[in-house]
Amino acid sequence: DAGITQSPRYKITETGRQVTLMCHQTWSHSYMFWYRQDLGHGLRLIYYSAAADITDKGEVPDGYVVSRSKTENFPLTLESATRSQTSVYFCASSPRDRGSYEQYFGPGTRLTVT
């Protein structure tokens, strides 16, 4: 029972490069989310998806692109990485059960942009 996984767990990239962070869940949850967490701060929502082919912006979407062609996958792409995007990225998924929306998080990807 893998649950929710993220890859890679650690990534170092250069400014201007494109990088894609992967997220995969085995629960068939309808909702999926991407958050970033900067050192010493809480989580901020980047994008979320209510179902395959349905995505919407969160609090800090600029510089990021998402897609969701399959229910189980929700990749996050940084089109042209900047140093300000150095952060830990968490993916989460959520079922829709009687109107409650608890989220289950992956282990995170630590991204450093040099």
Query: Footprint of another protein on this chain (CB under 8 A)?
Result: 31, 33, 35, 41-45, 48, 50, 56, 58-59, 88, 90, 92, 94, 96, 99-108
CA 95 to chain centre: 16
CB of 75 to another protein, least distance (A): 17
Tell me the CA distances in angstroms from 114 to 35, 50, 93, 97, one per residue in order: 21, 33, 30, 42
- Nearer to another protein among residue 35 and residue 64 (C-beta): 35
CB of 114 to another protein, least distance (A): 21
- Nearer to another protein among residue 10 and residue 79 (C-beta): 10
CA distance 78 to 102: 27
- Nearer to another protein among residue 18 and residue 51 (C-beta): 51
Map residue 83 onto helix, strand or coil.
helix
CB of 84 to another protein, least distance (A): 19
105 contacts 46 by C-beta, under 8 angstroms: no
CB of 8 to another protein, least distance (A): 15
